[in-house]
Structure 1
Amino acid sequence: MTPEEATPALAEKSRRNASASGIEEVVCGIFREVLDNGETMDVTRSFFHMGGTSIMAAKVAARISARYGIRLSLRYVFEYPTVKDLAQVVESEIRRDVAGLSDDEIVAMTTREK
């Protein structure tokens, strides 16, 4: 592979491994903690292909729920098993939950400690 060919491939790999949002970063961190296998996280790779089990998936759902104060169904981890996809679901759930809150309530919720 020439350097010219390698550069786009490396850029694509970097894009796949980089978290696009704060929620993706948190979900990625939770995957990393639960899997505890030393693998580099790829936001487009299935949790289950990285060694996740159904028990581990329950831990992921519980930790995300606790972190964001939402009720994330275990079913979502199975239906959206990548960091990228699950982060989008989490964002949708957060948006749904905050739709009726005032700006002050939203700021208080998003700045609370982890």
Structure 2
Amino acid sequence: MPPAPANLLADLPVASPDEDVSEILTRPDLRVERIVSTGQASPPGFWYDQPWDEWVLVLAGAARLQIADAAVERSLGPGDHLLLPAGTRHRVAWTSPDAPTVWLAVHCPPRDGSS
């Protein structure tokens, strides 16, 4: 029998200096995480540059992502999602300090199969 349903917006952690990352599902070549941000941003000068694709969805709250070489930051609110292909340099520029920003992040191999 399958386990009872869970809710990604339930049992949110209290605000802390660090984001809260919870692994929801892992399989070979797949990882799904719930990330809760409470005002965090990437450190100045830090860029994610991952060898895998990452699809992110904001379930609650608000955030801005900065993509290297893009003229403007990407604003995300509830329901907004974005695919960050492998090798896309990006950073979290801002998350709302007033209410938790809840992300769903899916990490998987790039479409071309390289990693």
> When the two structures are superposed, what TM-score results if normalisation uses the length of structure 1?
0.29
Name whichever structure is richer in helix by fraction: 1
Whose strand proportion is higher, 1 or 2?
A: 2
